A and B are shown apart, each in its own frame.
Chain A
Amino acid sequence: MAHKTYQYCVAENWGKGFIEHSESSKIAFSGLPGNVWRVPAHNKHANLWIAKVAGSVKTLDEAQAIVDAVVTAAQAVWDALPDADKAPALENNKRPTDITLEE
């Protein structure tokens, strides 16, 4: 069985106290679209944080589906913009790109 590097959960970021400085200094968080959070697998601190925020643990495929749905919606919004709004051709004004999650 492949060793998992990451685990995923869904938890709504309520703001203050959702991720504390002391948690961020011990856990490599990665916030993703759709309130999906990637944290290290097999990690005591990450497991405690998921419990604290009542995170709903997702498989890789489930997390990917949630992220895809949000990105697809954002792409549709971008596609509907008038050309003038798409004009400044910097990276942050490009069509939202697909995100591929890792095991």
Chain B
Amino acid sequence: MATYKEKVGTSVVNYAGTYSGAVEGEVWYDSTASTFKVNTGALVFAWATSNSLNLARYNSGGAGTYTAALCFGGAAPPGAYKTNTESYNGTNWTEVNDMNTGREYIGDAGTTNTAALAFGGWKPGTASETELWNGTNWTNVNGLGTARYGPAGCGTSTSALASGGNQGAPSYGPLGNVETWNGSNWTEVTNLNVARGSSASAGASNTAGLVFGGGPNPAGINPADLTETWNGSNWTEVNDLNTARESLAGTGATNTASLAVGGNEPGVTAKTESWNGTNWTEVNDLNTGRGALAGAGTNALAVVFGGSSPTQGTTEEWSETGGIKTIETS
């Protein structure tokens, strides 16, 4: 059998700690840790494919984490306004109990796949219905004060924020209305500075949110790059997205670390941007560009699913790759 030196042209370096001279693919022996290590390349975040939804759809709701997500409702023509709910375990999607009201353009909140909130939407006509997921069933709870489709949602099933959206016929115009959910009721609070629908949102609760992108003008399509942050009392305009878009996905458990994924520019985009609390930075693109997708997770570990056009169930996972790895033997 050929030795490492015969194959690679150099001996395995014996080094105490992280060998900074290692090129991509090079193995060395870390005498401090008593393990072999390898440089697998620059440490970057990227998207990888995962198993698709059972029902391809767009404009669904999404909640949960990278390895425990929930997809609910959405549209899958012909026969729009789906009630279908699927739960993701990090590898596969499993059909679980349906929503009570089929709809698309759903507002969503929830940081686990066992406790989520669905609100608003289009059924057809604007919806105010709110449903609470307990890990097994959806239960109807008190509805939004203002019926709408395409509200942005963030927070948890007991402390959520519904921001903006669009009204129904005849104008289908954008709304700046914002409501907070306390686990029982919705309360109207201060409006967004710029009314918009089909934006994305991230945040931990009904007192800390971030809203970005969106389509303020359904008649003329004018996707927004605007970002606003919510402190529980007021909205403040902060730095813009690099790429204006609507019908994007937003992930992030806080309003200081978020991901803006895909959307329509108006053509579908694969662009991904990461928010650090101050600025948006372009990072690696989705493998399949799309709008009207849903997402779950954080800005470091995320999953996105579904979208259009055409209608798809494609799932992609976001995490870091590369860096120094320890070689494990079994």
Contact = CB atoms under 8 A, between A and B. Distances in A.
Given A25-B41, A87-B122, A90-B264, 8 more contacts: A15-B51, A19-B47, A19-B49, A24-B48, A30-B288, A74-B309, A92-B246, A96-B310
Given A16-B51, A22-B40, A81-B77, A89 B288 contact: no
Interface of B: 40-42, 44, 46-52, 58-59, 75, 77-78, 80, 91, 105, 122, 124-125, 149-150, 166, 168-169, 172, 197-198, 215, 218-219, 221, 223, 246-247, 264, 266-267, 270, 284-285, 287-289, 291-292, 308-311, 314-315, 317, 319-322
22 contacts: A15-B51, A15-B52, A16-B51, A19-B47, A23-B48, A25-B44, A25-B284, A29-B288, A70-B310, A74-B311, A77-B78, A80-B78, A85-B75, A85-B80, A85-B124, A87-B168, A87-B169, A87-B172, A90-B264, A91-B221, A96-B308, A96-B310
A90 B48 contact: no
B75 to A, nearest CB: 8
A16 B322 contact: no
Nearest to A78: B77
A89 B221 CA distance: 9
Given A28-B285, A81-B78, A88-B149, A18 B122 contact: no
Interface string A60-103: 00000000001100100110110011011111110011000000
Prevailing SS type, chain A contact patch? loop
B310 to A, nearest CB: 4
A40 interface: no
A90 B310 contact: no
B71 to A, nearest CB: 15
Interface in A1-54: 13, 15-25, 28-31, 33
B270 to A, nearest CB: 7
Given A21-B319, A28-B285, A92 B247 contact: yes
Contacts of A17: 49
A56 B166 CA distance: 44
Contact of B77 (A18, A77, A89): A77
B91 A92 contact: no
B46 A13 contact: no
A98 to B, nearest CB: 11
A91 B291 contact: yes
Q: Which 8 A-B pairs have the closest CB atoms?
A: A31-B288, A15-B51, A21-B321, A92-B292, A25-B46, A91-B264, A24-B46, A29-B287
Given A21-B46, A22-B322, A77-B78, A91 B266 contact: yes
Nearest to A96: B309
Nearest to A85: B80
B175 to A, nearest CB: 13
A31 B289 CA distance: 7
A16 B91 contact: yes
Given A31-B289, A70-B310, A87-B124, A92 B46 contact: no
Contacts of B198: 90, 92
Given A15-B52, A25-B46, A33-B310, A88 B247 contact: no
A88 B105 contact: yes
Nearest to A13: B49
A58 to B, nearest CB: 17
Nearest to A26: B41
Nearest to B247: A92
B79 to A, nearest CB: 9
A13 B308 contact: no
Nearest to A92: B292
A17 B169 CA distance: 45
A88 B172 contact: yes
B118 to A, nearest CB: 17
Contacts of A33: 310
A21 to B, nearest CB: 4
